[in-house]
Structure 1
Amino acid sequence: METIAAMTGNDRHQAFSSVLQQHAGIVFKVANTYARLPEDRADLAQEIAAQLWHAWPKYDTARSVSTWMYRVALNVAISHVRVQALRNRHDAVPLDEDLHDMAGALAPDHESEQHLRLLQAFIARQPPLERALLLLYLDERPQREIAEILGISEANVSTKIGRLKQRLRDEL
């Protein structure tokens, strides 16, 4: 397969557009996890897309495109959280009511809805790396892929997941 960097401008743009459209859920999932307000989520999604485009020529086609996209998207989102924390002098970025409403549609009974709300609150209180880890874990990504995306070892992924699960059990 031709490398991305070797493609002509129009071919590179078409290939990127196709990949972005195919995997847009990754961009929106990360933006929804890391930004509270709808306009902030839109800005973050746009910034993620811009950074993906900027990194596109360096994408290694031998690797999974979703892994690459998660890695870029999470790095952008974590930087976004750091900037917001400096501006607002707080680390928490709670999930918005719209997410709760969408999640409520998936959880029809009151008990499930309450558990989902508690999980969302727990995730929102986590530092950026742990939030990313939870997002990927709940998205049922393999530990090997999580490790690659976050730039940590598989053993570290396993340990952090275990600790997060225990913390969640302790809080609930």
Structure 2
Amino acid sequence: MNEDLEHSFVTQLEANQNIVHKICRLYTNSRDAHNDLFQEITIQLWRAFPKFRGDAKFSTWMYRVALNTAITLYRKSKRQIQTQDYEKISFKISSEDYDDTIEEQLKLMYSAVKDLNDIDKALVFLYLEDKNYREISETLGITEVNARVKMNRIKEKLRKVLNP
């Protein structure tokens, strides 16, 4: 095992591990499932790392591998992800002038996003991460035009769901 390769991988993974955690949160609903998916994504990243050529940024490559792993495992499981009822979750925000309508809107938005198909969910995730359409298209393996069209359709769909 090449120690330089291992050191480079660990350094990059540590610097970008929040990407994997965010994807795990998007595709799982329990701590155990999150940890299992994180471990599986890390294994897939390690297996693919020797082939990483550096053509794209490491984080873009990492998004692609992590999303593909999460989507593949989700599809293989052929079971519904157990979701929590947002009505039973208590959000604790320490702002005295907090308006609970924002919380309700967030609940609705998260619920609507979870109902999207895997690719659309990943596209929304990357969009909310402030990725530009070039990075989104590279990560998801679609054209930049397709990413823009899909995002516009998703926005319209979410707008209809959130503002009936």
TM-score (norm 2): 0.88
Query: 2:133 is matched with which residue?
Result: 143
Query: 1:20 is matched with which residue?
Result: 13
Could you tell me which runs of 5 or more consecutive residues in structure 1 were left unpaired when the two chains were aligned: 1-7
Give me the CA root mean square deviation: 2.1
Query: 1:75 is matched with which residue?
Result: 68
Asked whether the equivalents of residues 34 and 93 of structure 1 are also in contact (C-alpha less than 8 Å), the reply is no
Distance 1:168 1:123, change over 3 A: same
CA distance in 1, matches of 2:94, 2:142: 32
Equivalent residue pairs, number: 158
CA distance in 2, matches of 1:101, 1:12: 44
Could you tell me which runs of 5 or more consecutive residues in structure 2 were left unpaired when the two chains were aligned: none
Q: Which amino acid aligns with 2:38?
A: A
Query: 2:31 is matched with which residue?
Result: 38
Shift of 1:44: 0.3
Q: Deviations over 1:41-61 (max 9, x none)?
A: 110011001100000000012
What percent of counterpart residues are identical? 35
Off by >3 Å, runs of 4+ in structure 1: 92-97, 104-108
Distance 1:48 1:10, change over 3 A: same
Shift of 1:138: 0.6
Query: In the alignment, does 2:59 pair up with 1:66?
Result: yes
Query: 1:159 is matched with which residue?
Result: 149
Q: Secondary structure at the match of 2:6?
A: helix
Shift of 1:129: 0.4
CA distance in 2, matches of 1:16, 1:134: 27
TM-score (norm 1): 0.84
